[in-house]
Chains A and B, each alone.
Chain A
Amino acid sequence: MSLDRTTVRNIAELARIEVRDDELDHLAGELSGILTFVEQLAEVNTDGIAPMASVADITLPMRQDVINDGGYAEAVLANAPDAVREDEGGFFTVPKVVE
């Protein structure tokens, strides 16, 4: 699979990574190379094979419905860039969103 500039731009958009126009060709080349490499899987016969999502040979464990976490807004906000401190409300902030 050879990716064109538009596709690379769309992938970058989906992944929310800014890519300059002058990087597109180089990236398209690299990503196309990788895709060509992984496409050799096409030659493997996988008829009737179930996809394997995990090697863990156990079923999903469940926890009981007890409250044993949370209650530490200060710690949750401690690393946040540009946060509203806890004594002033206690929020994360982002550039204003218009819905």
Chain B
Amino acid sequence: MTKLTNLTIADALTGLSKGDFSAVELTSAHLDAMAAKRSLNAYITETPELALEQAKESDARRAAGRAGALDGIPLGIKDLFATKDVLTTAASHILDGFKPQYESTVSQKLKDAGSVMLGKLNLDEFAMGSSNTTSYHGNVVNPWKSKSDPAKQLVPGGSSGGSGAAVAARIAMGATGTDTGGSIRQPAAFCGVTGIKPTYGRCSRWGIVAFASSLDQAGPMARTVKDCALMLNVMAGHDPKDSTSAPIAVPDFAAALTGDIRGLKVGIPKEYRPDGLSDEVNKVWEQGIEWLKAAGATPVEITLPHTKYALPTYYIVAPAEASSNLARYDGVRFGLRVKGDSLDDMYKKTRAAGFGAEVRRRIMIGTYVLSAGYYDAYYTKAQKVRRLIAEDFKKAFETVDVILTPTAPSAAFGIGDNTDDPVTMWLNDVFTIPTSLAGLPGLSLPAGLSADGLPMGLQLIGRPFDEETVFKVAGVMESAAGFTATPAGVAGNETNAGSARGGV
């Protein structure tokens, strides 16, 4: 029998329902694997007692014939989701000791569907980062190793780096992520897993520590397209507690995986070939186009003329919102407090000690672009360009059904690389940010391995609330890619193992 930790969610659900194993066994297998892989630092908080208790309850429910959609499935929850009575840190020192007395809508829905929470996953501090190196609780290590330098520790991507690493390393069957500018898709690509940022408004933001409210969106990360669809089925849905949550019915995303994409038009944006794009990534992209052609879809070159302005737009809008969203971390009601001589002194000392360098930098940029005299030149201008970017997509979707791009310009890089200049680091998100600004659904799936043996991802972008088409096309690509490679330490291998049809 396959190791329990190697099962997909779909297969585990079948196994549980057939009684091949219990939820307690499945959870225990994951808890053991977690203990063996603490060096990845994927979890900030492990909740083994809670997990086993939930697993027991799940077995009881299943025995009573009341099993939910994800009953007994062990998941990791990104530590940006508030979880009742369980430490919630946003990977920041400023939330020191914070145990929310409430549960986020998305994690509650997963709970209600019977899933088991293994723990809280590491991330970039306040989800600000593309390498998971800004966490107060230490960086996450990508389970994948480069062939040329197996000793080198690679980043898992970010901000949902703990989620990507845990799913890849088989220490969670699936995980929640959040995506503001690529924080689900880029780590999914770096870790060789699948992740989808749904349409803005698809999943409730209630109870998720806010980074940039007009961009933040929760989504699932798992090892297959179908697993993501099964998770999103549970996570999505209108929430009256979130004014930006869409009052739109949730279809059965898994049912969209028909395998039939004949006649679909796939947009290939000509602007997505910037200077820094690696040849290998470009090659995987070409390969992806061929797979879709072979399945009966038609590639169409499209233009998204304002693509190059997405990054600067994002780095005005997101920090501006963040500077305001993070004002509540003031040492008064929760988290860290550093004593001060006066109220202002307490604020300043608390926030200086509580926020890391990247967060402080973004708060200050955001504060500046909103300040008197600069607001129009920066913030208003960025909001106008944001509209142009959204209109680019709108126009493109008049002729195509889905858009295919690379997820990131390169495969995972080394921890400590790209840190000299914040702007260079931000370039990782050059393909994911436009989608975020336009609020569109974007899915990343592993499509091949680089010559160095590292996964590379492709991104599928859909129309607003048309995750079904995205899933459908992703399902076809997944079959075509045949990505069966696993990172080091999975299936007993010391280095990465297996293969993929895509790549070099």
Which of A's residues lie within 8 Å of B, judged by CB?
3, 7-8, 11-12, 14-19, 27, 30-31, 33-35, 37-42, 44, 46, 49-58, 60-61, 63, 72, 75-76, 78-82, 92, 94-95, 97
Contacts and interface: CB of A to CB of B under 8 A. Distances in A.
A50 B381 CA distance: 10
Interface stretch (B47-55, B140-148, B357-365, B470-478): B357-365
Given A56-B200, A78-B99, A40 B384 contact: no
B412 to A, nearest CB: 24
23 contacts: A3-B368, A12-B348, A14-B371, A15-B364, A17-B352, A18-B351, A34-B422, A37-B311, A37-B312, A37-B315, A44-B306, A44-B385, A46-B384, A46-B388, A53-B214, A53-B383, A56-B439, A61-B240, A63-B240, A79-B334, A94-B332, A97-B342, A97-B343
Contacts, number: 166
Nearest to B241: A63
A79 B381 contact: no
B332 A92 contact: yes
A14 B390 CA distance: 32
Contact of B312 (A7, A16, A41, A57): A41
Contact of A18 (B312, B336, B348): B348
A54 B243 CA distance: 12
A76 B200 CA distance: 30
Given A31-B365, A41-B312, A52 B349 contact: no
Interface string B192-214: 00000000110000000000001
Given A30-B361, A41-B309, A16 B383 contact: no
Contacts of B316: 38, 41
Contact of A95 (B201, B340, B385, B439): B340
A35 B377 CA distance: 11
B333 A79 contact: yes
Contacts of B345: 95
A12 B364 contact: yes
A54 B384 contact: no
The 8 nearest A-B residue pairs measured at CB:
A55-B439, A51-B383, A79-B334, A46-B384, A18-B352, A52-B387, A18-B348, A75-B101
B346 A54 contact: no
Given A44-B388, A55-B438, A82-B337, A35 B247 contact: no
Contacts of B243: 60-61
Contact of B371 (A11, A30, A50): A11
B272 interface: no
Interface string B82-126: 000000000000000111110000000000000000000000000
- For A11, A33, A34, A51, which residue has the most chain B Cβ atoms within 10 angstroms? A34
Contacts of A54: 214, 244
Contacts of B423: 33-34, 37
Contacts of A3: 368
Given A80-B334, A81-B331, A92-B332, A40 B346 contact: no
B368 A18 contact: no
Given A18-B349, A56-B244, A80 B364 contact: no
Contacts of A42: 377, 381
B433 to A, nearest CB: 13
B43 interface: no
B367 A11 contact: yes
Contact of B385 (A8, A46, A55): A46
A98 B230 CA distance: 56
Contacts of A11: 364, 367-368, 371
B225 interface: no
Interface in B281-340: 306, 308-309, 311-313, 315-316, 323, 327, 330-337, 339-340
Nearest to B436: A55
A19 B351 CA distance: 10
Contact of B464 (A16, A57, A95): A57
A97 B341 CA distance: 10
B136 interface: no
A3 B369 CA distance: 12
A72 B99 CA distance: 15
Nearest to B308: A40
Contacts of B99: 78-79
B447 to A, nearest CB: 27
A11 B320 CA distance: 13
A7 B367 CA distance: 11
B381 A33 contact: no
A34 B340 CA distance: 31
Given A16-B327, A78-B101, 10 more contacts: A34-B315, A34-B361, A34-B423, A41-B385, A42-B381, A49-B384, A51-B387, A63-B240, A92-B333, A95-B346
A14 B383 CA distance: 23
Nearest to A15: B367
A41 B360 CA distance: 23
Query: Could you say which of A8, A40, A44, A49 has the most chain B C-beta atoms within 10 Å of its C-beta?
Result: A44
Interface in B236-277: 240, 243-244, 246-247
Given A15-B364, A17-B351, A49 B387 contact: yes
Contacts of A39: 312
B380 interface: yes
